Homo-oligomer: A and B are copies of this chain.
Amino acid sequence: MNDLKQKILTAVENDLSEIEKALSDNLNPYLDLVSDVAGHIIFSGGKRLRPLLMVLSARICGYTGNYDVTFSTAIEYLHAATLLHDDLVDSAALRRGKPVAHSKWGNSIAVLVGDFLLSRALSISAGTGNLKVIRILSKLTEDMSQGEVLQFIRKGDVSLTEAEYLEVIRRKTALLFKAACWVSAVIADASDDEESALSDYGFNLGIAFQMADDLFDYTLETSDLGKEIGADLKEGKMTLPVIYALKQANSTDKDLMVKIIEDKNFSVADFKTLVGMLQKYGGIAYTEKKAAFYIKRAKDALSAFNSSETKETLLDIAEYAIARRI
């Protein structure tokens, strides 16, 4: 698995360093504080997966211009904007092992700098001069914001169904991955088939990526996770491992699980009990299986393209999205 990571990193080394530079060059803040706060979230060890997908998607469609890297910052800024607001909404404490922005600068600054990053992302998309790109990204921000509301209002609801969970992760993660790949095909002036193939790749990868992320809360230790153990549960986020196990459990076990979930101050022992239930009732395995299913769909979508180094990297990224340990 580390071999796969290394293979990907070697293949995209130049791209990642160009993306890193572009993220710094294009932020364009007028106030130092905005730069500090935005930098705190943007330069905090993110994987740059979304901008990387954009650069690779443009390349696989034969794009040879020089706007792809600049443009890829739009999606990363948009992603950072949602993280700033989400951490606030979730009352999160840590992200990637560091205190969240709102605990460092206060809620107001987190709200306002999030607004700036969202606006900056849409300005960069306007800078493409491509109406289709602009429409895809503005529609995306609308869909995502309502997804966040949906997640928020269903927090702590142990009756959340798998279909409702899918709707939440579709809006909060998969649509962003989909848009990242899709708009890059548009920028590259790709065929409809190529646009459609990359949309499908991004969407399915996004679903699987989020499922893998949701699994980590129950399979990793804090030191790897970069956030508190059981953080999702403490924030009331019902994810697939839990949803599935609750559905399968006998009534005694279900009652026990619900009791732990509804007690926001559960102990480490309680949490371990819950993780044991997720294993016992197949919540972990089911989620892994589902994630693998979506990754297969993502890979299949790429059959529209001939073999190339770029295609191989996109396939490797899909594989790694579920094989990774954070």
Give which listed residue, B109, B118, B131, B153, contacts A152 with CB less than 8 A.
B109
- Determine how close the nearest CB of chain B comes to the CB of A201; give it in whole angstroms: 24
Secondary structure of the A side of the interface?
A: helix
Min C-beta distance of A228 to chain B, whole Å: 19
Is there an interface contact between B29 and A115, defined as CB atoms closer than 8 Å? no
Whether A146 contacts B34 in the complex (CB less than 8 A), given A134-B134, A141-B119, comes out as yes
List which A175-223 residues lie within 8 A (CB) of chain B: none
A113 close to chain B: CB less than 8 A: yes
| Residues on B with beta carbons closer than 8 Å to the beta carbon of A33 | 149, 153
Count of chain copies: 2
Question: In whole angstroms, what is the CA distance A180 to B146 when docked?
Answer: 26
The answer to whether A149 touches B119 (Cβ under 8 A) is no
How far, in angstroms, from A111 to B141 measured CA to CA in the complex?
A: 14
Known contacts A29-B146, A112-B145; A138 and B122 CB within 8 A of each other? yes
Contact A145 to B119, CB < 8 A, known contacts A111-B89, A111-B111: yes
Apart from A31-B146, A115-B141, A122-B122, list 16 A-B contacts with CB within 8 A: A29-B146, A31-B150, A85-B112, A85-B115, A88-B108, A89-B112, A107-B107, A109-B149, A111-B111, A112-B145, A112-B149, A118-B118, A120-B142, A123-B138, A123-B142, A131-B134
Which residues of A pack against B, CB within 8 Å? 29-31, 33-34, 85, 88-89, 107-109, 111-116, 118-120, 122-123, 125-127, 129, 131, 134-135, 138-139, 141-142, 144-146, 148-150, 152-153
